[in-house]
């Protein structure tokens, strides 16, 4: 492994540092405790990292066999616009996740969990920094409609929870448990995206993926390892750590994770351009299978903590029996196990957008029956959120025929900043952006 490390021009480096002081105030504590919690890992570097020695040949799509592109103007106009959108979305997600973690970091039950999430936040900052390097090191004005790289950086730094590109990064965390489930479920989508993008026909972007992927592996562990401890405590009757709480958090984040892949019917364009090596639905299928394996592992650990005298084989057999027959097995109940909802459950984008499909795939035709069903499966604190209220009101309009599914997706409002780039200016308002990009006040929920 050979890397090139690059620092942004001073003004942009300082801008990221300024942003970091707002959203990672415990950064210095993380640096001071790094050797204690991560003694085998290299010290943190706020820099762009590019893998050296990667392939120079496009391996997939319409340009397979050709040399990879090194500058935006070597791409077609359509390709450059598509890739620029990917880079800007990637930057948005990195900074967005930091803002979400920031809200509940102090609520961690264990110091180790807190420092693990702090490291995730620092590395997400570096990933966003890396996207800034891509935006600033070349001229993207031909693909951006004349928008300069520095303006795109300012836009990304000005976003807050509610104004990011992807819905998963516009939801507030209800508790520190959200940090763990988010890392295990949403960061796992990031792993798939980075893996698919390693082949990218634009070489600077492809070279950015391997270093980010190595760090992403820790992000998944920062969710899964604490969840393993959580389910063991739940098995022993710890009233502060329950399987139900984890299950509800999974129901909240899993639909948003599926939507991060894009519409199930899409992805052909990115494969054709050589930007990714897989279309959306096959990638989503692999993601679902991997989450199923993760939940199986957590369920096995729960069962073995409840019955420490059992062998791994006995625990596997008990789990299979619970899934197949849904009967009690030595005090264990099927309802205690963690499960993925149906992939159509609680969706607002993609092929099943705004359909009323239940946790187990059951169909609803009455919105006033579907909403209580959602309430039984989602975290109580989330039910009281503005996002949930807006979803419910929009769903009613879809069911009554006032909105189509496509119109409903566009109608969900976002936060827009009123003020400058610095997070010191926190003035925001809820707006709906129409097709002409004019801002309108959102209807009250």
Q: Residues 431, 414: contact at Cβ < 8 Å?
A: yes
Mean pLDDT value of segment 125-137 = 97
Mean pLDDT value of segment 347-375 = 97
Structure confidence at residue 426 (pLDDT): 41
Residues 60 and 90 in one domain: yes
Residues 136 and 162 in one domain: yes
Angstrom distance (rounded) from CA 210 to CA 54: 10
Structure confidence at residue 430 (pLDDT): 38
Q: By three-state DSSP, how is residue 6 classified? A: strand
CA distances (Å), origin 377, targets 252, 291, 372: 8, 18, 9
Higher-confidence residue of 101 and 414: namely 101
Residues 202 and 158 in one domain: yes
Residue 414 pLDDT grade (very low, low, confident, very high; cuts 50, 70, 90): low
Angstrom distance (rounded) from CA 443 to CA 385: 16
Residues 387 and 290 in one domain: no
Pick from 43-47, 48-52, 73-77, 408-412: least confident: 408-412
Q: What would the pLDDT profile of 24-61 be if each residue is shown by its tens digit? A: 999 999 999 999 999 999 999 999 999 999 999 999 99
Q: What would the pLDDT profile of 89-108 be if each residue is shown by its tens digit? A: 999 999 999 999 999 999 99
Residues 395 and 423 in one domain: no
Mean pLDDT value of segment 16-22 = 96
Residues 176 and 51 in one domain: yes
Residue 123 pLDDT grade (very low, low, confident, very high; cuts 50, 70, 90): very high
Burial zone of 440 (CB within 10 Å; 0-12 exposed, 13-18 middle, 19+ buried): exposed
CATH for 114: 1.10.620.20
Q: Residues 93, 170: contact at Cβ < 8 Å?
A: no
Residues 103 and 61 in one domain: yes
pTM: 0.91
Residues 357 and 431 in one domain: no
Residue 122 belongs to what H/E stretch?
Answer: helix 111-137
Q: Which domain holds residue 381?
A: 350-403
Structure confidence at residue 413 (pLDDT): 58
Is 323 within the bounds of a domain?
no
Residue 3 DSSP one-character state: E
Is 441 within the bounds of a domain?
yes
Higher-confidence residue of 130 and 417: namely 130
Rg for the chain, CA atoms, rounded: 22
In a 13 Å sphere around the CA of 180, the CA atoms on its Cβ side amount to 24
Angstrom distance (rounded) from CA 276 to CA 297: 30
Is 48 within the bounds of a domain?
yes
Structure confidence at residue 164 (pLDDT): 81
Q: Residues 430, 441: contact at Cβ < 8 Å?
A: yes
Q: Residues 188, 290: contact at Cβ < 8 Å?
A: yes
Secondary structure of 41-66 in HEC code, one letter for each residue: CCCCCCCEEEECCCCCECCCCCCCCC
Structure confidence at residue 425 (pLDDT): 45
Number of domains in the chain: 3
Q: What would the pLDDT profile of 258-275 be if each residue is shown by its tens digit? A: 999 999 999 999 999 999
User: Mean pLDDT score of the chain, rounded to an integer?
Assistant: 91
Return the percentage of the chain with pLDDT > 70, whole number.
92
Q: What would the pLDDT profile of 141-195 be if each residue is shown by its tens digit? A: 999 999 999 999 999 999 888 778 778 888 889 999 999 999 999 999 999 999 9
Helix residue ranges per DSSP H, 260-418: 268-273, 280-306, 312-325, 367-377, 380-383, 386-400, 405-411
Residues 117 and 181 in one domain: yes
Q: Which residues pair with 414 in a beta bridge?
A: 431
State both tokens at 429.
């308002």
Q: Which residues pair with 415 in a beta bridge?
A: 430
Is 318 within the bounds of a domain?
no
Residues 158 and 103 in one domain: yes
Question: What is the CA 420 to chain-centroid distance, rounded?
Answer: 26
User: Among residues 300, 331, 365, which one ends one of the domains?
Assistant: 300
Residues 222 and 240 in one domain: yes
User: Among residues 300, 316, 340, which one ends one of the domains?
Assistant: 300
The answer for 237, left when phi > 0, alpha when psi is -120 to 50, beta otherwise, is: left
Residue 84 φ then ψ, to 5°: -60, -40
Predicted confidence (pLDDT) at residue 435 exceeds the cutoff of 50: no
Is 329 within the bounds of a domain?
no
Mean pLDDT value of segment 326-349 = 96
Angstrom distance (rounded) from CA 140 to CA 138: 6
Q: Which residues pair with 51 in a beta bridge?
A: 3
Angstrom distance (rounded) from CA 23 to CA 121: 9
Burial zone of 438 (CB within 10 Å; 0-12 exposed, 13-18 middle, 19+ buried): exposed
User: Among residues 276, 300, 324, which one ends one of the domains?
Assistant: 300
Residue 130 φ then ψ, to 5°: -65, -40
Residues 6+ apart with CB under 8 A from 177: 230, 245, 246, 249
Residue 7 φ then ψ, to 5°: -105, 140
Is 100 within the bounds of a domain?
yes
The answer for 437, left when phi > 0, alpha when psi is -120 to 50, beta otherwise, is: left
Is 335 within the bounds of a domain?
no
Beta sheet of 439-441, edge-to-edge order: 414-417, 428-433, 439-441
Residue 91 DSSP one-character state: H
Predicted confidence (pLDDT) at residue 434 exceeds the cutoff of 90: no
Is 431 within the bounds of a domain?
yes
Angstrom distance (rounded) from CA 43 to CA 119: 11
Residues 259 and 377 in one domain: no
Angstrom distance (rounded) from CA 46 to CA 246: 33
């Amino acid at each position: 492994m050979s890397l090139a490390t690059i620092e942004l021009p001073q003004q942009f480096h300082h801008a990221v540092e300024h942003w970091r002081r707002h959203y990672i105030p415990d950064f210095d504590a993380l640096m001071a405790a790094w050797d204690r919690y991560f003694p085998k890992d290299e010290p943190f570097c706020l820099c762009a990292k590019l893998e050296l020695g990667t392939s120079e040949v496009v391996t997939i799509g319409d340009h397979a066999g050709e040399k990879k592109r090194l500058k935006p103007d070597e791409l077609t106009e359509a390709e450059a616009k598509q890739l620029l959108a990917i880079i800007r979305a990637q930057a948005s997600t990195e900074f967005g996740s930091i803002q979400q973690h920031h809200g509940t970091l102090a609520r961690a039950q264990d110091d180790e969990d807190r420092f693990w999430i702090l490291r995730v936040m620092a590395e997400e900052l570096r990933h966003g920094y890396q996207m800034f390097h891509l935006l600033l090191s070349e001229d993207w004005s031909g693909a951006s409609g004349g928008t300069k790289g520095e303006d795109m950086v300012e836009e990304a730094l000005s976003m807050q929870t509610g104004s990011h590109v992807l819905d998963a990064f516009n939801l507030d965390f209800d508790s520190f448990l959200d940090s763990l489930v988010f890392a295990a479920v949403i960061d796992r989508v990031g792993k798939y995206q980075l893996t698919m993008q390693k082949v990218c026909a634009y070489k600077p972007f492809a070279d950015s993926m391997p270093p980010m992927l190595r760090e992403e592996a820790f992000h998944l562990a920062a969710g899964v390892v604490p969840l393993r401890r959580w389910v063991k405590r739940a098995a022993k009757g710890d009233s502060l750590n329950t399987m139900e709480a984890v299950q509800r958090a999974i129901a909240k984040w899993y639909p948003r994770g599926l939507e991060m892949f894009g519409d199930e019917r899409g992805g052909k364009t990115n494969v054709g351009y050589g930007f990714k090596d897989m279309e959306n639905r096959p990638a989503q299928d692999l993601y679902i299978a991997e989450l199923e394996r993760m939940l199986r592992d957590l369920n096995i650990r729960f069962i073995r903590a409840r019955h420490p005298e059992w062998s791994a084989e006995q625990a596997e057999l008990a789990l299979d029996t619970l899934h197949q027959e849904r009967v009690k097995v030595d005090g264990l109940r099927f309802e205690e196990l963690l499960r993925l909802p149906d992939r159509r459950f609680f969706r607002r984008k993609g092929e099943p957008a705004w359909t009323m499909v239940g946790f187990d795939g059951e169909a609803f035709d009455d919105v006033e029956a579907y909403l209580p069903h959602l309430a039984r499966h989602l975290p109580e604190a989330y039910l009281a959120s503005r996002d949930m209220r807006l979803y419910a009101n929009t769903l009613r309009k879809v069911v009554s025929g006032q909105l189509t599914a496509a119109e409903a997706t566009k109608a969900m409002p976002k936060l827009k900043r009123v003020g400058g780039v610095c997070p010191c200016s926190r003035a925001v308002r809820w707006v709906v952006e129409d097709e002409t990009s004019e801002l309108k006040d959102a209807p009250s929920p």
